[in-house]
Every structure is written in C-alpha cells, then in structure tokens.
Amino acid sequence: MSYNLSLYRFSHGEPAEPDMDVVRAVLSPFRAADEKTGDGATEYWIRAADGSEAEVGVFERLVSVENPQAGDVWKIIIELADRLGAGILVPDGTFLCPEDMRTHLPEGMEDDSVLVPQITLEAFENAAGPFKHPLT
C-alpha cells in the first residue's frame, strides 16, 4: 500500500513555490541517489541513517513525499516542512499548518486545517490522529 503526503506553502491564498535552496540544504545530506530533474519536477530518493527511505518530488507549487518508510526519514520530512514554512496535507484531507500561515490559506481551507506553532513530529502524529500512517 502506498502512502503519500504533500507539502504546501501558501501566500495570499495561492500555493507558493518551494525554496529550492532550503530543499537542497535539508535533503542533500540524505540523498541515496543523484538528484534528477525532468518533467517540471526535481526528484530525490533519500535515506536516513537508520535505513528508512522516501521519494521526494519538488514541483512548481508543492513537494510530494511518496512511500516514506517507518523510521528516521520522518524526521527529515518534518524538518523539510518546517524549514520551508510549509504545511502537510495528510491522505485523510487534514492540513497540518504553521499558525503564521493562517492568513495566507485559501478561503475555506482553515476549516480543514490543524494550526500549530511549529511543524514537529509530535504535531504530525497528533494531526494524523486515528488515520493509519507508517510512522511507527
């Protein structure tokens, strides 16, 4: 079964472009393969020190995280979201979002968002709630 997340940052109600300098700074130490660019995306395959892995695709308006395995790779994903100032859309439709993004969310999106002071692993686990995720 696949598990996918999307990281979004909003500015004035519109999705904003991810900062590639931040993406590279966070992911480069964990690259398991060379960065690939094509079809409007930059793709990374990352591996944490414990061997857990994920595929990360950086697109014009979002970062996609595919098939993250249980383990320390989650710390990398959470750090990436936090450093980008992005929220995390979990598969059940909940959007975990930093509080300072509230005024930038598209109209009506706040109703489906969990606003937190900072994106952390604990905040993610709480937002995912009863939804099954491969974190542990």
Backbone angles phi, psi at 37, to 5 degrees: -125, 135
The string of pLDDT tens digits covering residues 103-131 is 999 999 988 899 999 999 898 888 876 54
The string of pLDDT tens digits covering residues 12-54 is 999 999 999 999 999 999 988 878 888 888 999 999 999 999 9
Buried-state track 19-57, b at ≥16 Cβ within 10 A, e below 16: eeebbeebbeebeeeeeeeeeeebbbbbbbeeebbbbbb
What was the pLDDT predicted at 129?
61
Entry pTM: 0.88
- Taking a C-beta distance cutoff of 8 angstroms, is the pair 79, 98 a contact? no
SS3 label, residue 95 = strand
What was the pLDDT predicted at 132?
45
Enumerate domains of the chain plus CATH numbers.
4-128 (3.30.310)
Q: Which among 55, 61, 58 is positioned nearest to 30, based on CA atoms?
A: 55
What was the pLDDT predicted at 82?
94
Backbone angles phi, psi at 85, to 5 degrees: 70, 30
What confidence category does residue 1 fall into, taking pLDDT thresholds of 50, 70 and 90? low
The string of pLDDT tens digits covering residues 46-100 is 999 999 999 999 999 999 999 999 899 999 999 999 999 999 998 888 899 999 9
- Taking a C-beta distance cutoff of 8 angstroms, is the pair 90, 110 a contact? no
